[in-house]
Structure formats: C-alpha cells, structure tokens
Structure 1
C-alpha cells in the first residue's frame, strides 16, 4: 500500500512538473470552484425548511401586520413572501400559532386553515373518502389543541351523521373534547381560552354549532358550560371592581400624603384612612329638558344683561267668533200638560236677546333637549381621615444645656393650632374633589402619638454620647499627663546624659593632655620616641572620636555607653 501511494505521488509530481503554468492555473480554478459548490450545497441543505402558517396568501396588509405582530409577541420568527404567504420554522409552531390566531379572530375570513388528506386512488369509495375526511379533521383538531401551551394532551371525537332527505330528519353534527391541562394551567377557569377551542372546532367541522360542542377536563367537569359560569364571572367582575376601587384609593392616599408630608414631615402624618364608594352597576338615564328660546345672546363686554329670552314661540293661531240674536224658546212638554218652568223664567221667555262667543286657539312651541346616557361606574361618597401629630421640643436651661428630669430629657408638646388644622382640611378636600352634595367627609385630627419608645431610644443615645464624651475627656487628660511625664523624663535623662558626656570628655581630654605632656617632655629630653602602628591608629581614632563628640555628641554618648556595657 505504501509503495502504491509513493508511486502515485511520484507520478503526480512528474505530471505537475510537465504541466505549463496555464494548466496548473486551470486545475487550481477547478478545485476552488468545486470547493465553493460543495460549501453552497451544504449551506443550502442545512437551511431549515419553512412551514406556511396559512395556506392561502394574506393580501390585506392590515390583517397581515396584525398577524405578524401577534407572532412577534409570542417570540415566533415569521417570514412573509412576496405573494403574502406567512411561514414559520416548524410544523409544531405553525399548529400552536394557528390555534392562537383562531382564538383571537385573526384568521382572514376567506382562509381555510385545515389541511385534509389529499389521496387520489382509483379503488377508493366515497365512504372511505368520508372516513378520511373525518379522521383528518379529528387529527388536525387534536394537534392544534395539543399545540396550546396550557394543554398536555387532548382527545377529540367528531360525529358526522349521514345526510337525510328531509332537513327535519337530519341529525346534527356533534363533537366532544377531553382536555388534559398542564400543571399550573388556568385553562379550566379561563373562559376566553375555552371559547377559543370551541371556535376552533366550529371552523374545523362544517355544520357544528356551540350547542353541540362539549369540552370537558380529565375529571369530567364541563368547561364550556358558560351558563353555569355566570356566578364565577360575576365574582371575577366583583374582584376587578374591588381592584379598581383599591387602586383609586391608593392614588388618593399617595396624593394626600405628598401634600401633608411636605408640610409636616413624614413622621408626623400617620393613620391615613380613605374610603371611596362607587356604584358599579350599569344605569341608563334618559333626560328631557324643556328650554326657553334665546332670541338674542348676552354681550359679555357690557356690564348689563342684553339677552332676550322667550318662553315659547307661536307656531299657529286660530280665532273663532259666534254672535246670536233673537228670542229664546222654552218647550214645556206635551199639549194639555202644564209646564214645570219656574215663574221667574216664564217672565223672561219670548224676550229678544244678544249673545257673542269668541274662541282663540294658539299653538306654542317650546325648546326641548333629550339626553340618553349610560352611567357606569359612578363615583359616590368619599371619606378621608388623617391624623397629624404636634411638635415635641426639648427643654433647655439658661446655659443652653438640656434639662434632665428623673433620668430623662424633659420635653414639651406643642399642639397644632385650629386654624392650621382647618387649612390642612381644606387642602385635603381640594385633593379629593370634595363635594357636599355627595356627603363627603374629611377629618384632619391632631392626636398625640405615643412616642415613649422613640424618646427612650433618643435619651439612651444622648446619655451614651455624654458618657463617651466624658470618657474621651478623661482619656485625653490621662494621655496629656503621660505625655508630660514622658517629656519630663526625657528632659531629665537628656540632662543626665549631657553631664555624663561632659565628664567623659573631660577625662579623655585630661588623658590626652597627660599623654601629650609626656611626649613633649620626652622630646625635650632628646629621647627618641617611637610609636607603634597600633598607637598611631589609637591616636587617630581618639582624634576622630573627639571631633565626632564635638559635632555629634548624642551619637558619641551612645557609642561610649555601648563600649562600657561591653566592658
């Protein structure tokens, strides 16, 4: 094998040497092109395939932007082609997002989100095709439901009855779903999610209605019984209303505390209690107002009122006048029977009279305004109570020192004046929008707080600081005394050393004088004086010591002390 490899390598080298530079360049270009093609094929094959979210293109730009925005909220990367087809990375993500888009009504109306089995065979019957359609619908619905984040598994059964001749004999399409929620999921109590699954079934199966859909959990509880969820919905609404009231009370509380604490301080404003009554019921009110006509408006630049107002305007009028003149006739009954007319009226009968009747009818028009409004919620009574503490001042004597009584600092309490409390009340009323018509109540009180524990801590801290000051003063005094003793000791010791040094210098000087005197006497006597090397060194050393003693007396004293200790 090695010989063959060596032989092949030798042949390649021989051929390479025989080739011209042009041939070598062509071979290199072919190799580079092959490498580039292999890299491109590898990158293209490694590129993930995209799955269309909706088979049909979404041509409406607004709907397409809403779908893409919803995908971005779910952190799903989507690609939109030039034709309008939205694609995602994998099939599982596509199923999950289809379920979410169906639940939130983001699927276009002309879009069929379900993919059925498309199998063409010559031997297949209509019955088999119907079975395939049914299985396809059930499987797709189950996959879409399982793609939801709140569902661990799902079981779907769809009953598609046979077509009948008469509509009255036609059985309805029914569907039942059993959900297996994930731990911690709220799908069993979330009505919106259940309605999304129910809507998904309606889109998937033709002819399926809400009444024929049953959705249950693994415990057998019916989840789409929305009539039975009315009490739960009512409790949810009440809970939301209570949160709204609590949020509003918190806003007013922060506003009031900011006003009072900026003036009186954080520690002096406490015990703030606020209660807001709100009518959350929905009310419809219709109001009819009859208004006069304003013929001329008031000129605001003049000091007097120039407006002209009329209560009504005449639309039409009718006048009728009737005049009668002649004798009156009073019948008295059948002939031969005496009438029953009173004698006083008989005297006035057969007299000529004149009667005039006038009738005037006038139709007046008045202005009216009809208002129809729905009120919900309506703000009710507001009750605020807050307590502000007075001021505590520490008593001091004539020298400016704190007054200590019974082991405690004596303090004086200064209450808040009534006029200042009234101003604080007005500030709180302005903050909450006080209205006497709502029977609002605002109470700003001055109640003394219990500050015994706080004062005890302050007193202990004060006494500890006083004690520390005393200890510090005593320590400083002791340190000053020690420093004074040390200074005196140093002065005395330096004086003793100085005297000792002077005495030693005097002894050395006397020895030197005696030695010089002896040498001088010997020279005078004509004696030959010979000095050894050691004596010369000793003399030089002695001279150096004398010179150093004059220049640096302290160092020389230390050196002499060392020599004496060694001896």
Structure 2
C-alpha cells in the first residue's frame, strides 16, 4: 500500500514539475478562488434569512412572543430597542398567525377568550367579576388598537359595588385610558370621540363624563361636548401650533411627493417654515354705489314738476295816505303801480334710488403672512455637487417659487420675483449616512454578487483545466517523439557507452512499465 502511494506521489510530483512557474501560479490561484467561491456560496445558501414579523412592540408583548418562540424552538432576532422581532423568512407567515391566535401581540391580553379556554366553575362571584373586568379591558384595548394612529393602549375600568338602594352617581362606572400615539401620526378630534364612545358603549352605566383619556405624555384628550362641535380641549396656543404644523406638513408632503418622483424619495429632504397670523377680524362695511356706474346716477323713482306765471298791466289803484300804514315808514310817500309786469316760476323735483350695501365680514382665524421652503437634494454622484445640473436646480427653484407665490397671494404684499426667490433655497449636498457599512452589507447580501463570483471562479477553473489538458497533450506528444526508434547505428561508430544505454533503457522501462521495473529491482536485490 505504501509503495502504491509512493508511486502515485512520485508520478504526481514528476507531473507537477513539468509545469512552469507561471502555470503553477495560475493553477494555485484558480483553486484558491474556486474554494473561496464555494465557501461564500455555501455560507449564503446555509445562512438563515430573517424577516421582521412584529414591530412597535411593547415590552410585555415582546416578552410573551419571545417566550413562545423559545418554547417552539423557533430561532429569532430582537432589535436593539426591543421593539422588533424577526424570524426566519420561511416561517414568518405561520409564526404571525400562531402568535395572533394566542393574543400575544397585545401583551397576552386575550379578552373574553379566557372564558372559552377555561371554565368558571368553582370560582366565587368576586373572582368571576375580576376575570370579567380584566377580559372587558382586554377587548376594549383590542378595539382601540385597531385605530391606525394608536400603537398601544392601556384601559382601566372601575366597577362600583352594587347597591340594593336607588342608583345614584356613586354607583356609576368609571374608566381611564392612556393612548400611545404613533410618531408623526395625526390623532384628530373625531378619533378622540371614537375612543370615548367605544368605552362608554362597551361598559354598562358608564357616561362620557366618567371617562378620562390622555396620551403617552399625559396630555388630556377631551371629547367634543354636546353643542360645541369646535371644542377640542386645546388652548389657543396649542391650537395655533397644531394649525401651523399641519399647514407646514401639508406643503412639505406635496413638495416631497413631487421631487421624490424625480430624484428618489431618499434623495430629497424638505423643510417648510410658515409665519401665520391668528388674529380673527370682524368688520362691517356700509357701501353706497350708483346703479348706473357710467353716469354715476341712481334710479329715478319719482318726478314732480310745478309751474307758476303772473301778469300785470299796471292799472292798479293809487297808493294810500303816506305814512298811515302800520308797515309804512312815516312821512314817506307811497308809489303807485306804473307799467306792465310779467313773472314765471318753474320747479322740478326728482327722487333717485341708490345701492346701499352692508357687508359683515369675519376673516379666517388664521392667515399666512410669510413662507420659506428649503430643499436639500443629493446629486446623482454624491461627492460631486456639479452632477446636479444648473438647469435642474432652476427647474426646482421655479417650482418652489410658484408654490410660495400662490401661498402669499392673499397677504396683500406686492412681492417681486427677487423677493420670492429669497424665500426658496435649493441645496445640492450629499446626505450624511453610514454608507460604508450599508454598502458592504448590501454587497454581500446580494445573490447576484455570489453568482458573479461563482461564474468567475468557474471561468478561471475552466481556463486552468484547459491549460493543464493542453500541457498534458504536449507532454504526450513529446513522449511519443522520444519513444520513436532510433536510427540504425553503424558498427564502426560508438556514440554511447554501454552504461548509458542501460540507464536509458531502465528509465524508459520505469516510465512505461513501472510495475515491471519494480519487479526487476526486486530480482536484482534478491540476487545480490
């Protein structure tokens, strides 16, 4: 056995020494690359791919799910903040269904399922009431969690002791609810009223006035009072901040949606700042205008004309005694009528009707006084700001200026294009992000990269095999040439000594028939 191994080793060594240094280096490099590619492919195929199955978990729910996965021997990964649990991708669907069926996502609160899982026989009335209240709290929590803006909820119900006497306010139930609102989500007044109504209609003898709801920061969320549809429970300052934030957010979302299509959602960041006036103005305008604007005349509603004429020929009686009348000046001689007298009197009265307009104006409780928009765009080549062309920047600038112009159209300001342009800023700048780790992880997580490495290794291996086959073929041809019979030697010429001829014959025998050569050596050793 050892002789066979030694023989193969010598043959391999002899065959290896036939190659040049360059061929040996190529072969070794090909084998190393092939081995690395096989290792990477094997690792990628054997690596477990995890998929997020549960997100935004509370500590209680995360603990329940973790215990379930450990009991079921299902591998999992928990995020650093403990709010996300990932499971193998091929088991994600079944795990989600199983966990949901057990009510573990809601922190183990199964609601009325506790009565279906176990009987209540043997329980006292007090124990039954405790279980019932706990189940009712769980069901209410499930209902509230179905609201999109709520990520978690805690419900506490207080049932008073039943009294045999007439029911009064002390026998009414009460409830407290704490809501955890998702970051960036809007929890409007309609949703607040929904929570109040859900709790009030689900619990017996629970009026709205006995319900307290607050968010995770302790701010009370007050329901709309009857007859006060505008009541929100917020102070004036808070209401102003909410309106301002909503207005800025609306413009930001519109700008982001437009530019995100052009450059990519992760290539654009938008900041909007608005200055708003919340003074509510009430004024009364009393206007008087002419119906006929061209001639500035009113409408004729009545017309009255009068004419008088008087004629005298001067033949009237002589005057009385001078100075004897009560109205006459004493000792002044009166004048008699002399000559003919004519007189006329004409009058015309026209009544006009005009427009009388009274405007009671109540202006909007808020108005935009000023607006500025700042947009950061990551160029196509992050480290080269010039890769974002000036034409593209001008297009974005003009679009944002148009938005600002429309928003400030009712402010009464006569803004020039230059003033509007100062309210818009476009910044071509690479975004700060941990690109090194993300890119490295993304490269090695891609199956295409592994396929490319495998293809490259296969190509190099093929080239190496081709070179070896070609080399072996050349060696065989050379060997055939060497094995050709030599020319007939003339007796008079002695080219080689007998020892050289014997040595060559032995080498040829060892190369062609190694077994016969070994037997020959054994025979010689035995004879000696």
TM over 0.5: no
Q: With a CA cutoff of 8 Å and minimum separation of 6, indicate the structure with the bigger relative contact order.
A: 2
- Which structure has the larger Rg? 1
Indicate the TM-score class for this superposition, using the shorter chain for normalisation: 0.3 to 0.5
TM-score of the two chains, using structure 2 as the length reference: 0.35
TM-score, with length taken from structure 1: 0.33
